[in-house]
């Protein structure tokens, strides 16, 4: 086990073999990676364990640079485990380079069907038994999609849990994907309105960029294509605390003077490439709608729900906006079929993505009866008008989980855990311990 030291912390790496399909423990195995972090001054102490479940899906766990932010607060009380969820980071990877080894698109889709919250939680249980012991218990902190996983954990193995903390991640228990996006687009529209109210000059700036891209799609440095629809997808950043400012600074100097007139600058295109590419997290695109798929909610699969529902909100039609004088609206946390045409990291997986979108047999992820009788202490931060996770759906779920305590706040956006310097985590800990 490699051990490393950073300022104030000791990091120990663990690699654990788990079944690809936990229903077939004797079948194929894959590897999951977890990084144990403990405060240097407490390295020899017997401490309770806190498992962190990252948002996503498809994002690797945080890479700590010493003790700061929420991790510093956690290390006051816990030995922390950072899990690279299956398919991400240093766990057995799943991407355009590795998936072809599984076979054709159908085999790849069948493989990826084992990469949702239910399998991730079973992986967590294998890690717990391996590192802590069969009868040991631990606490779980779930951010965003990590909260979805935590709620599944409460449904499937609450006996393993001391307490559960959720930030911006209470899912609708029986909400089909189309309803998720039907609730999302109005929130995204409100974030657009707030952005343009903050930076009114951006209305014309964005219209100018959009008009240029409508007529002249641009090649990105990584080989992708920046179309008008892809440009609108930059709105994903509007759900974070500083996203509106970042977007403003991105578009304010998009053009430089070329020999034949204004052209999009290399600097602009390079930054856009970083924001739009799924090279670092292809599972985010492949499985994003599948995290909402449940047989009891909809037996028809997800079928590109975000794309389907978008037609119900004509305000997001950029071509129509350019014909008038209104703002071009950005989209948010939505995945669309065209992304598998414009992004080189996704293009080889287009057929696989289609099969996942059409897949109908998705097991349920949550047990409402078991959650209603929950005895595990649970506290959840619900961010007011969260662009990524619907507040109304979250509060409905909060009422459905026995003993859950909520903190509804507009002090932070969806990234409150990361940017609050430990204050969000501290508040949840005090809630779950009955100190508030």
Query: What stretches of 277-304 show up as alpha helix (H) in DSSP?
Result: 282-287
C-beta contacts of 9-14 below 8 A and 24+ residues apart:
9/37, 9/38, 9/39, 9/40, 9/64, 9/66, 9/67, 9/75, 10/37, 10/38, 10/39, 10/40, 10/43, 11/35, 11/36, 11/37, 11/64, 12/36, 12/38, 13/90, 14/127, 14/130, 14/131
For 24-61, give the DSSP string.
Answer: -TTS-EEEEEEEEEEEGGGTTS---EEEEE-SSSSPPP
Helix (H) or strand (E) holding 426: helix 423-432
With contact defined as beta carbons under 8 Å apart, do 139 and 79 qualify?
Answer: no
Known catalytic membership, residue 45:
no
Task: Respond yes or no: is residue 77 known to be catalytic.
Answer: no
CB 84, CB 32: distance < 8 Å: yes
Report the relative pairing of strands 79-84 and 138-143 from DSSP bridges.
Answer: unpaired
| Cα–Cα distance, 269 to 264 (Å, whole number) | 7
Q: Among 123, 386, 390, 415, which one carries the catalytic annotation?
A: 386
Is 100 exposed, middle or buried, given 0-12, 13-18 or 19+ CB atoms closer than 10 A?
middle
- 414 is a catalytic site residue: yes
Q: Are 365 and 348 in contact (CB under 8 A)?
A: no
Cβ partners under 8 Å of residue 419, min gap 6: 69, 241, 242, 412
CB 170, CB 151: distance < 8 Å:
yes
287 vs 1: CA distance, rounded Å: 31
From the candidates 91, 144, 240, 394, which is the catalytic residue? 144
Tell which residue, 169, 150, 120, has the closest CA to residue 415: 169
3-class SS of residue 216:
coil
Catalytic sites, residue numbers? 144, 386, 414
């Amino acid at each position: 086990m490699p051990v490393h030291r950073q300022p104030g912390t000791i990091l120990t790496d663990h690699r654990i073999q788990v079944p690809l399909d936990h229903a077939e423990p004797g079948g194929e195995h894959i590897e999951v990676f977890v990084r144990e972090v403990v405060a240097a001054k407490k390295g020899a102490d017997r401490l309770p364990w806190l498992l962190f479940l990252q948002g996503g899906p498809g994002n690797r766990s945080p890479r700590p640079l010493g003790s700061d932010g929420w991790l510093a607060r956690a290390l006051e009380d816990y030995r922390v485990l950072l899990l690279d969820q299956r398919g991400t980071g240093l766990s057995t990877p799943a991407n355009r380079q590795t998936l072809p080894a599984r076979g054709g698109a159908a085999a790849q889709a069948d493989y990826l069907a084992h990469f949702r919250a239910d399998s991730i939680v079973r992986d967590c249980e294998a890690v717990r038994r391996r590192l802590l012991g069969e009868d040991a218990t631990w606490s779980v902190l779930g951010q965003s999609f990590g909260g979805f996983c935590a709620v599944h954990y409460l449904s499937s193995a609450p006996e393993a849990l001391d307490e559960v903390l959720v930030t911006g991640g209470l899912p609708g228990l029986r909400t089909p994907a189309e309803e998720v996006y039907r609730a999302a687009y109005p929130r995204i529209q409100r974030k657009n309105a707030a952005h343009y109210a903050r930076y009114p000059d951006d209305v014309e700036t964005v219209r100018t960029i959009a008009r240029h891209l409508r007529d002249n799609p641009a090649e990105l440095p990584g080989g992708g294509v920046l179309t008008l629809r892809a440009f609108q997808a930059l709105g994903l950043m509007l759900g974070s605390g500083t996203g509106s400012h970042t977007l403003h600074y991105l578009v304010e100097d998009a053009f430089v003077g070329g020999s034949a007139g204004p052209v999009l600058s290399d600097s602009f295109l390079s930054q856009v490439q970083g924001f739009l590419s799924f090279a670092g997290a292809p599972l985010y695109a492949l499985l994003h709608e599948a995290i909402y798929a449940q047989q009891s909610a909809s037996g028809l699969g997800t079928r590109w729900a975000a794309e389907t529902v978008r037609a119900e909100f004509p305000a997001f039609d950029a071509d129509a906006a350019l014909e008038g004088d209104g703002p071009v609206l950005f989209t948010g946390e939505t995945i669309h079929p065209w992304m598998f045409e414009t992004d080189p990291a996704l293009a080889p997986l287009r057929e696989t993505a289609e099969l996942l979108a059409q897949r109908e047999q998705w097991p349920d992820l949550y047990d409402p009866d078991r959650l209603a009788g929950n005895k595990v202490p649970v506290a959840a931060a619900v961010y007011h008008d969260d662009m990524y996770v619907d507040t109304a759906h979250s509060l409905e779920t909060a009422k459905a989980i026995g003993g859950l305590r909520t903190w509804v706040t507009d002090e932070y956006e969806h990234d409150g855990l990361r940017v609050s310097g430990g204050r969000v985590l501290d508040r949840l800990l005090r809630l779950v311990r009955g100190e508030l």
